[in-house]
Each structure stands twice: as structure tokens, then as C-alpha cells.
Structure 1
Amino acid sequence: MTDLADLLNAERSGAVARHGGRDYGFAEFRAAVGHWCELLADQPEIRYALFCHDAYPFAVLLFALWHCGKQVTLAANNRPGTAQQLQQAGCRLIGDWEAGFDYRLEQNPNFRPAFSRLQTQPVRLEIFTSGSTGAAKSIVKNLGQLQAEVDTLEKLWGKTLADSRILATVSQQHIYGLLFRVLWPLAAGRCFHSQTALDAEHLVAQAGAGPACWVASPAHLKRLDP
């Protein structure tokens, strides 16, 4: 397991994520985060509302924002009403809020930017409950809390998963998907798939010949064709 606070200084080989039909290695991930850090560091806004359909560009932007000292809010969706509320709350929008957003993922993997270790307490992430029992409520997590959660997940199921690839039906915009689909695989060195895998056929086609873990929800599983 790698400490998320020092993830980008790790020495790691192999794929971080599969996105757009190919695997992205750790050097490419680090270079993309570094590129976005250069773009965001001098921007005056402190609060950013992040929304991405796919998990790999989400991870790139999330770590870039954290390393720039920005406060990140994860939006539950990218509908116009949500965008308006977040902007009124002082957030700058970043990600899939408008068509054609350029994630600039194709960076030279030989570009090795320097990253300072993240301070776990100042790093803040605002997420929202699903609102299933009323209006969605804001919850703030720091990086230390998120690290403790992924450490626990690895302790419970790391040996079972081994080198499985991670696919998911759930969105990384919510805490379940964020932990199981993005942060835990990053810390454990498992490759995660960027696109949502909503059915078993997609799972089989995308996972390939190796072992895979499918992160789903009871409601989704109950609707599957036996």
C-alpha cells in the first residue's frame, strides 16, 4: 500500500488505469497531474466543483487540485441547476460541465514534476449524501480519514483481490465509488477501469483474461438477468 499523501512520489510500474481503450501507466498519470498543477497553481479560485463521467480523468484532476492547495467539492451530477448552486456557493467548475472539456491526459511520461507530500489534515474533500431520506447533506473528509478507510479495505480484502482489475457500476462522485473505484486501487497499485461497467457483458469484455473485481450495488445486482 502506498500512502495517498505521497502517492505521486512512489516508484511504481504497471498500469494505473484503462481509459479510452488503452492502459495508462504510472509515469503518464504523474505527468498529467503535474501538467494540471502547472495550469491550476496560479488560478485565484480556491474552491473547485469536480465532476467527471470517467474515473481516470477524475483521478488526474483530483490529485492536481489537492497538490495545488485547492478545496474540492464532488458534485452528484452536472445538471444546470447543480452547476448554478455550486457557482453561487463560490466554486469554480472543472470537468464534464460542458461538452468537449479537454483533460490533456496525453503528456510526455518522461516529464517528472516534483510533488511535495500532501498534508493530510488541510486536504479537504466535500461530498454529498445520496439524499435518499431527504435533501442531500454535505460531508467533509480530510485525506487522513480517506487513507484510514482504504487501509481498512485493503486489510479486509486485499489478499482476496490480489492483482484484480477494478471495474464498477457506481460513480466516483459519491463516497462508495470514490473509495472502492479510485482511491483504494491507487493506493494498492491495482489497475482500475475508467468507464462505468454497467452489465456483466461489459465486465467480461473489458476485464480480459485476468482476474477482475466488479464494484456494484445491491439495487443494481437485483436488476441483472440471472
Structure 2
Amino acid sequence: MKSLLKEWLGKGPAPAQLISFNHHDILTGALFTTQVHHLWQRLNDTPAKRWLLSSESSDLFAIGLCAGLLAGKELVLPPNTQSGTLQGLAAHIDGVLSDVELPLTGTENADKPWIMLKKELSQPKAPWPDVSASGSLTLYTSGSSGDAKPVHKTLSQLDAEVSTLEATFAAALPHCSVLATVSHQHIYGLLFKILWPLAASRPFLSEQIEYPETLSYYTALLPNLCLISSPAQLSRLPDALENERQLHSPSLVFSSGGPLSEEAAHGIQKVYGSLPIEVYGSTETGGIGWRRQASASEPWQAFPGIEIASAGDGALLLRSPYLEQPDKQMRCEDKIAIDDNGRFVLQGRLDRIVKIEEKRLSLVQMEALLERHPLVSRAALVLLTEPRTQLGAVVELSAEGKAWLATNGKLALNNQLKAHLLSEFERVTLPRRWRYPDELPLNQQGKRVHQTLIELFTHD
């Protein structure tokens, strides 16, 4: 299989290649090349090896990404820019690439080099760096212990996945533009919105789509589009489009980050004319399989080169060229059943990692942070599915917390604990429902009784 990404990074874009666009600006290959060259030079002039890379603008992010890879740097992509998250990463970085000031405070960070990402239109024209890209990426995801887990990605791993995506889906994609409702700071958006489009010479929208009206604007404006989205966003889209067949539709719609309901899949088919392509995988594993969900029981097809098996407890056992050790079998905590054709059906999780609005979340990590608050003695989180998927928090208060509740009320306490959680978690992932029993329900072995916790939310 052709090494699509490595070959592109070796020569850079054609001068006339359209890299990115928005409603008022474009970035050509010539300008992109010049900006990558000058940033690459600046990175080469500093011995700092590990650089935090963060920008909401996909074109600036792509410039920093390419320059860092070509300069042989390790680029650290934070899962979010909450102050607690950044402080936790501070010891693991030597410098910062960003287009905005980040809440990375403390004397230990004062001497770290900061390079502001911005479009420099007055720079002298320069060629693509004549080097072999040798950098790497580190992303963070929720580990089973509850701590943020670093996941290292080499250029060879990323190249293998980009090349597979092109080989698998290019026949269904005309020369199109790429739009995304998801962030490029996570593996799905990174691959599908940045790396794959760059390597395949498909321009991408430099902004993240937030509203259906913006999406409809671009589908009407451009004849061929590929939409990169998520289950939460796709499930709301048909209603926003009044469940009517659209005159202009994307050529392909991709969904990843969590399970897409059958109702949502068929809702997208109704408004856009075809079922979305769901991609199953994770930050650690990369893509594992894909499907178009004609029915809820539709099995997944593994990508070429992926080998899957099932452990005794049903856990997925994986061998993949996208792993750091491609020949070693990796156990995943998703339960699967494999059919006679080698396809597989997902049957739920075996650990306490959940997804809220497609953001991977460790219940252990959030519980631990809650229990560090002086008003909290113990805390338990449960995933509620009715009336929609959301977190419920069951909190046993400390003596101080009980007094605080009596004085200030439940709403104020909810907000106090949410503010505490925002130091490490994004607002969209926070618990929506809160319960404050005198004691957490435990069995004789001192274990939490999950069903009893769920029942606390039966009535509001």
C-alpha cells in the first residue's frame, strides 16, 4: 500500500493546492509551504523537544503540526485546555505552540519557549523543508486507572492509517472539500480532518462547524463535500433540517466517537440520501472497523490489515499496524461477538470508561476529583440512559458539606461541585443530575450497588 502521508510530507503541497478555506479566506499550498518553512526554522533553532500544540483554527494547527513533524519534535496534543489539564501536562512539555494564551501558569513554566501560531503574510517566500519528517505525536486519553494516559503515535503509525483510509474510501469520494463538526485535537478529527485531507490533496474548512445553518451554507455553496461528524451531532441534525430531503448533500458522512443509534443513522439517510459511515476505534488503537448501519444489528467490518479475536470474557483482542507493537495482541475492554464472516458486533464495555457527547471519560478520574473537594466524603458516578445519555452524580457529603448544603441549598452545591470539576473536565461532560444521600448505598462487601444508585434517579 502506498505511503500516502509520508510521501506528501516528503515533498509538500503543490503551490496551487488548496489547503484550507473559510467564508472569507483561503490558504494555498505556496503560502502554507512558506509558513511551515519559517516555523520549522524557528523550531530547529531551539533544543526544546516536546511541544504542546493547541489551536482551534485547523489551518494554523496544520502549520504547527507539519513544522513540528519535519523538525523532529514530539508534539503533545492536550485533550482540552482546562487549567487543571494543562497543569497536569506541564511537566511533560518543553515548549508551547498555540494561537492564544493558555492558562499554563507557575514559575516552572516561565522559562519554557512559547511560539504564537499566526498567519504571517509578509514572510519571504521559502521552499518546503528538504528533510525527512521524523517527529511524533502524543495524545492523551482516559486510562482504566482514571489518570490521563499518554498515547504515543509515530509517523509510520499515522501513515499506515491515512493510507488505509484512502484505499478504503477514496472510490466513494470525488475530489471534495472536508468539513468537520469535531475537533482536530483528538485522534478522529486529527486523522479525518487534517492528515488524510492534506495527504490526499483535499481542502478542509479551517473552522469547526457548530450550527446546522453553517453546514447548509457550505453544502449549497460547494458541490462535493465530505462531512466528519459525531453521533451526538448527527442525532440532532435531522430535526434541525426539519427531517426533509436536502437539495444539496455531502458525498460521504463519517461518524465516530461513540455508538450511533439506528434512528440517527436513518435520520441522516432521510435528509442526505445515504447512510453515514461509522468508524469504530480509539486513540490507542486507531481505526478498527467500519459499517453502514442498515439495522441496529449491522456488524462491523474490520479495516484491511486488522486482525480481531475474542477473549474468554468476550473482550476484543486486536493486532493492528496502527499500534506501537503491531505484532503484539492488545486486549480492548469492548465486548464483541464475531460472526461466521469474520465481522463483529459490539456488546458494551467491560470497564468504567464511558463516552459523553463523544468525549471519552473515566468515571474513576472524575470520582477521584470530586472526592478531593472538602465538601465531599465519597462520590459515585453512573451513566443514565433516560431520557438521554448523561451522567448522574451520587455524593455523600462531609460534615462541612452537609452544613454547606443546609445553608446554601442544592442548586448552589451543584454549581460549586461543577466549578470544581471544570478544572479538569469540559462542561459538556459534567454530571447533569445530582443526588446527596446520607450514605452511598453499599452491599455487605462494601461495594457500591449499581442498581440502587440508578434507582436514586428514578424520580426528580
TM range (shorter): 0.7 to 0.9
C-alpha distance in 2 between matches for 1:105 and 1:125: 25
Task: Provide the residue aligned with 1:15 in structure 2.
Answer: 18
One-letter amino acid of the structure 1 residue matched with residue 192 of structure 2: F
> 1:209 aligned to 2:226?
no
Structure with the greater relative contact order (CA < 8 A, sep ≥ 6): 1 or 2?
1
Give matches, 1:98-109, under 5 Å.
Answer: 98=101, 101-106=116-121
Tell me if structure 1 keeps the 8 A contact 2:4–2:200: no
Q: After superposition, what is the alpha-carbon deviation per residue over 1:85-139, rounded to whole angstroms, capped at 9, x for unaligned?
A: 222223322214517x4513425584224321224xxx32111226799443221
Deviates further, 104-113 or 203-212 = 104-113
Tell me if structure 2 keeps the 8 A contact 1:124–1:142: yes
C-alpha distance in 1 between matches for 2:60 and 2:173: 24
Compared CA separation, residues 102 and 87, structure 1 to 2 (3 A): same
Higher share of residues assigned strand: 2
SS at match of 1:213: strand
One-letter amino acid of the structure 2 residue matched with residue 3 of structure 1: L
Tell me if structure 2 keeps the 8 A contact 1:16–1:25: yes
C-alpha distance in 1 between matches for 2:71 and 2:17: 26
Deviates further, 60-69 or 81-90 = 81-90
C-alpha distance in 1 between matches for 2:3 and 2:22: 22
One-letter amino acid of the structure 2 residue matched with residue 118 of structure 1: A
Task: Provide the residue aligned with 1:4 in structure 2.
Answer: 5
Tell me if structure 2 keeps the 8 A contact 1:181–1:215: yes
Give matches, 1:122-201, under 5 Å.
Answer: 123-129=135-141, 134-201=146-213
One-letter amino acid of the structure 2 residue matched with residue 36 of structure 1: L
Tell me if structure 2 keeps the 8 A contact 1:47–1:70: yes
Q: CA deviation at 1:196?
A: 0.2
Task: Provide the residue aligned with 2:234 in structure 1.
Answer: 221
> 1:60 aligned to 2:72?
no
Compared CA separation, residues 108 and 206, structure 1 to 2 (3 A): farther
Tell me if structure 2 keeps the 8 A contact 1:17–1:56: yes
Task: Provide the residue aligned with 1:27 in structure 2.
Answer: 30
> 1:49 aligned to 2:52?
yes
Q: CA deviation at 1:150?
A: 0.8
SS at match of 1:152: helix
C-alpha distance in 2 between matches for 1:70 and 1:78: 21
Q: CA deviation at 1:38?
A: 1.8
**TM-score, normalised to structure 1's length?**
0.87
Q: After superposition, what is the alpha-carbon deviation per residue over 1:198-221, rounded to whole angstroms, capped at 9, x for unaligned?
A: 233212323523211110011211
Deviates further, 197-206 or 161-170 = 197-206
Q: After superposition, what is the alpha-carbon deviation per residue over 1:52-97, rounded to whole angstroms, capped at 9, x for unaligned?
A: 1111100100111111121111011122222222222233222145
Tell me if structure 1 keeps the 8 A contact 2:76–2:138: yes
Deviates further, 127-136 or 47-56 = 127-136
C-alpha distance in 2 between matches for 1:213 and 1:186: 14
Task: Provide the residue aligned with 2:130 in structure 1.
Answer: 115
Compared CA separation, residues 190 and 17, structure 1 to 2 (3 A): same
- Structure 1: which 5+ runs fail to align? none
Higher share of residues assigned helix: 1
Q: After superposition, what is the alpha-carbon deviation per residue over 1:1-25, rounded to whole angstroms, capped at 9, x for unaligned?
A: 7733342524623311115721111
Q: Identify the match of residue 98 of structure 2 among 95, 98, 105.
A: 95
Tell me if structure 1 keeps the 8 A contact 2:50–2:92: no
Q: Identify the match of residue 76 of structure 1 among 74, 79, 93.
A: 79
- Structure 2: which 5+ runs fail to align? 103-115, 244-460
